Amino acid sequence: MILPKDRDPRFITIRRGGTLTDSDHRMLALWAAACAEHVLHLFESVEPSDPRPREAIEQIRAWARGEIKMSQSRAAGGHAMAAARVLSGAARHAAFAAGQAAVVAHVAAHELGAAAYAIKAVRATAPGREGESAGRLECLWQREQLPDEIRELVLDDQRLRNEICWSVFDC
C-alpha cells in the first residue's frame, strides 16, 4: 500500500476540503504520466500488443487537458493495473506505474505510486547492486521533470512516504 492511512490535505482538492488547486492537481497528473511513460517500453517490450498501460497514460493526459471525466481516467488506470497483475519484474512495475498515473485524476496522492513503480521497474532491469544505482538515476530524472509549482510538495511527499514506497526515493 502506497497511500498513508491519513490523507494529506495538500493532496485533496480545495472543493473537497483540502488545499490542492486544480492547476496543481493537473501538474501532479502530468508529472506522474511522464514518470510512467519513461518506463513504458519495459512493459511494451514484453507485451507489445497490449495497449492498456499506454492508453492509461493517454487518458490521464486527456483528463489534465479537461477532455475526459475523472472516471474515464480512473477506469483506464484499473485496466493498466489488470495488465500488470499477470506479469512479473520490470514489465509488471511499468504497467503499475501507468495505472497509478491514470488514477491521479481520482486521488492526487497516487502521483508517488507512478513514480515509485517506475523506479522499481528500472531497478528490476539491472542485476544486483546495479539495480539500486539505476533506481537512483531514475529518481533523479523524475525530480528533474518536476514543475517548480509542485516541486516542494512532491519532494516533501517523497520524504514522508518513502518508507511505505519501498524506500525508492533515497536519491
| Cα–Cα dist 81/36, whole Å | 12
Q: What is the pLDDT of residue 1?
A: 62
Per-residue pLDDT of the chain (171 residues; tens, 9 = 90+): 689 889 999 999 999 999 999 999 999 999 999 999 999 999 999 999 999 999 999 999 999 999 999 999 999 999 999 999 999 999 999 999 999 999 999 999 999 999 999 999 999 999 888 999 999 999 999 999 999 999 999 999 999 999 999 999 999
Write down the residue that cell numbers 492547476 correspond to: 23
Residue 8: DSSP 8-state: P
HEC states along 56-79? HHHHHHHHHCCCCCHHHHHHHHHH
List beta partners, residue 73. Answer: none
**Helix or strand holding residue 52 (H, E):** helix 52-64
Q: What is the pTM of this model?
A: 0.97
| Cα–Cα dist 80/65, whole Å | 20
